[in-house]
Amino acid sequence: MTPSDEPSRARTAQRVLARREARIGLLFVLPAFIVFLAFRFGPAIASMALAFTDYTIGATPNWLGLENFRRMLDDPVFWSALKVTVMFTVMTVPVSLAMSVGMALLVRRAFRGVGLFRSIFFLPVVTSLVLAATVFTWIFSSNGPWSSLMGRLGLPEETWLGNPNLVLPALVVVAVWSRFGYGMLILLARLQDVPRELEEAALTDGANAWQRFRYIVFPQLRPALFFLAVIETTASFQVFDLVYVMTGGGPARASYTLVYELYEQGFRYFNLGYASAIGVALFVMTLVVALIQRWVIGRDR
Amino acid sequence: MRRRTTRLGALTVVSGLLLAACGGDDAATGDGGSGDTQEITMWMYPVIFDEADHSAFWDEQVAAFEADNPDIAVKVEIYPWANRDEALGTALAGGTAPDVVYLIPDQIPQYAHTLAPVDEYLDDTALAAYRPNAVESVSMDGQLLGAPILMSINPLVCNKAAFDDVGADYPESWDDLLALAPSFKDAGYDVTNYWGSVDATLNTSFYPLLWQAGGDVFTDDGSAVAFNSPAGVAALSLLVELADGGYVERDLLTTIPAFEQTNTAKGQIGCTWQQVPADLEPFWGEENIVVLPPLRQRESIAYGTVGALSIMADPGDAAADAAGRWVSYVSSEAVTSEYVVASGYFSPYALDDSLYADDTRYAEMETHLDAATAGTPHEHARQVMGLLAPEIQAALTGQKTPEAALADAENAAANLFD
């Protein structure tokens, strides 16, 4: 036995222990994993298979190959829905992120009543979106508070939900309202980890608020922001409840999104094969966007 | 180590069992369990609003039927109206569909290939006694796909308080309606309402106007759409004129607000063909409901739907036979008469006597049943609505002319008929 054997044996013992722990860990995860496999992956894979068929309720599916995708490329409704979805995402994600950062910075420090403010700002996240959308439908109606506010600002006093150019901004307002609290919470947790001394040192060096945020706080927030950007983008690409409750895709398809088309094709017309194809397209697009975001925001890590 | 392996094995088995339990149970459907009894299930919806009354009605019918048919056990399940297509579609896909289901004409084309024709189960006198429009609404390719048990009608309903206030006569035609519009507007009323949200059905909104103008949604042979016609343009132009003049509530053109927030519910409206007296009575008061014949342009036609019982079991199956006997029983004139009076609808049978002799408004509606149609069932009916409704909105919000909107919808619909 040479002295060098000792640490190597310890390493082996450690590895055995680690493997054992991993196995026990796996055992704990297994039930959840199986449920996930059965109710998430299974249907997802099945729907990918359905995308290549003409499946409808109660009939045997026929294999169509790429026909559904070809139809999608020729379908003006699909392209208009894609455009609406992208526009909605492009408006929602930055506004929601900016709002989350802003609110997180505001409620970051301990002051009297901060807990109350944090709870209030988080409240929309745990509010049923369908319920909120119903209330917002009234808020945006011709006689609602939003229209009178616009009137006071000297803008036309009309319902935003009835104007093809304003319907998406209206939905963005509701989406941001319902989601910024979640982002705020994530960023708040991250902000607690930023050493106070760093900022105090910067303050002593004469850095102003913006410089302290830009050079000290922001770099620390980057991973959390990347996470939020991905989550927000995915959520925006999948926007459905708001459209379903508030506009039904109108006026004249100005708020007709991809998931709404998927729903209509699947559950109103029972074209489940075509609906699955739209789902696959949506999945691929979300994946690509997430990879791009990873490359841009997550580059340093 | 061995103990752990055993545990892992046990866990896998348990999980496997769990999965198996979650899987489909095709074998269980249709089997009544005890030897000779054929069990059938019917899905119903709250046609009678009061749940206890509704259950009691069906309990009574089931008991009466089972007494005469001891070999059949009927289970009636009452589901909410909301999302009923999702629930039914999922059940069909999962092999747990009911044997009998309540459908309306709008749904029938979607499920047509899963439905067994009901003609062979109904006796000829019953078939002959049905109102022809009730039968037509639930027939496809010459086959009756549901046994009608009730009918509804959306006549013209006017608000007496508003007419008294304005001092006007009730309208009979489109021209009358347009002529009334400015004086109603001056007095703070909308002359009528139009629900334009794209997820609202066109059956109660645009199609009645199209029919009144002599037009139709599809060509007679069903091989193409027919709404892009002079009748279609006339109908859409009427709506555009009402919208541009500010004679209808603007928000309703694009959204579906809570009903009590609408001018319609507030009584700030003259007439409507899109709500029935039952919707309006709680808001306007019984004394202000005036039921009138459907508006006339070339014809006086209203939307009216039919509630029918369809059979989802495979024809030739023992379950289908039992379902047929049950459907034949509950769609009889006697049972349906009791049902429609309890639920505030109308009989699909051409009866000699009114069921509503003591209620003038319902009696008035009853006289217009022959002028009601749910349109001809067509496999693309819903898709066509999905393409047409946004174009109607585009016209109502001033983005397109009526002609251009209908032409664009016609072009988009052409893809469905390739």
A251 and A201 within one domain: yes
Asked if A27 and B8 come within 8 Å (Cβ–Cβ), the reply is yes
B194 confidence band (pLDDT: 50, 70, 90): very high
Residue A256 covered by a domain: yes
Peptide bond into B171 cis (omega under 30): no
Residue A61 covered by a domain: no
If one counts the domains in chain A, the total is: 2
Residues ≥6 apart with Cβ < 8 Å to B277: B157, B289, B291, B361, B362, B365
B8 confidence band (pLDDT: 50, 70, 90): very low
Q: Which domains does chain B have, with CATH numbers?
A: 36-153+305-373 (3.40.190.10), 156-302+380-417 (3.40.190.10)
A131 and A35 within one domain: no
A105 and A7 within one domain: no
A188 and A142 within one domain: yes
A287 and A176 within one domain: yes
CB count within 10 Å of CB A64 equals 18
Residue A231 covered by a domain: yes
Structure tokens that stand for A11 in this block: 């390493």
- Predicted ipTM of the assembly: 0.77
CB count within 10 Å of CB B99 equals 28
How far away is chain A from the Cα of B136, in angstroms, using its nearest Cα? 22
Mean predicted confidence (pLDDT) in A197-203 = 84
- Tell me, what CATH number does A149's domain have? 1.10.3720.10
CA-based nearest residue to B111, from B303, B311, B324: B311
A91 and A176 within one domain: yes
Residue of chain A nearest B13, judged by CA positions: A31
In whole angstroms, what is the distance from residue B154 CA to residue B375 CA?
A: 13
Is it the case that residue A193 has pLDDT exceeding 50? yes
DSSP track, B283-333: HH-GGGEEEEPPPBSSSB-EE--EEEEEE-SPTTSHHHHHHHHHHHHHTSH
Chain A residues with CB-CB distance to B89 below 8 A: 57, 267, 270
- For testing contact with chain B, the best of A35, A256, A269, A271 (most B CBs within 10 A): A269
Does residue B85 belong to the interface with chain A, where contact is any CB pair within 8 Å? yes
Chain A residues with CB-CB distance to B412 below 8 A: 76-77
A253 and A127 within one domain: yes
Domain boundaries, position A26: 1-41
Residue of chain A nearest B387, judged by CA positions: A77
Is it the case that residue A22 has pLDDT exceeding 70? yes
In whole angstroms, what is the distance from residue B260 CA to residue B397 CA?
A: 24
Residue A53 covered by a domain: no
Residue A47 covered by a domain: no
- Tokens 């519910």 belong to residue: B265
Residue A258 covered by a domain: yes
Is it the case that residue A31 has pLDDT exceeding 50? yes
Mean predicted confidence (pLDDT) in B145-174 = 95
Residue A60 covered by a domain: no
Of B7, B258, B390, the CB nearest to A253: B390
A115 and A3 within one domain: no
A135 and A201 within one domain: yes
- For testing contact with chain A, the best of B12, B203, B251 (most A CBs within 10 A): B251
A97 and A15 within one domain: no
pLDDT in tens, B114-129: 999 999 899 898 899 9
pLDDT in tens, B20-74: 444 444 433 444 444 578 999 999 999 998 999 999 999 999 999 999 999 999 9
Residue A52 covered by a domain: no
pLDDT score for B3: 45
A13 and A102 within one domain: no
Of B18, B89, B196, the CB nearest to A57: B89
Chain B residues with CB-CB distance to A60 below 8 A: none
**Mean pLDDT over the full length of chain B:** 88
Residue of chain B nearest A267, judged by CA positions: B86
A103 and A31 within one domain: no
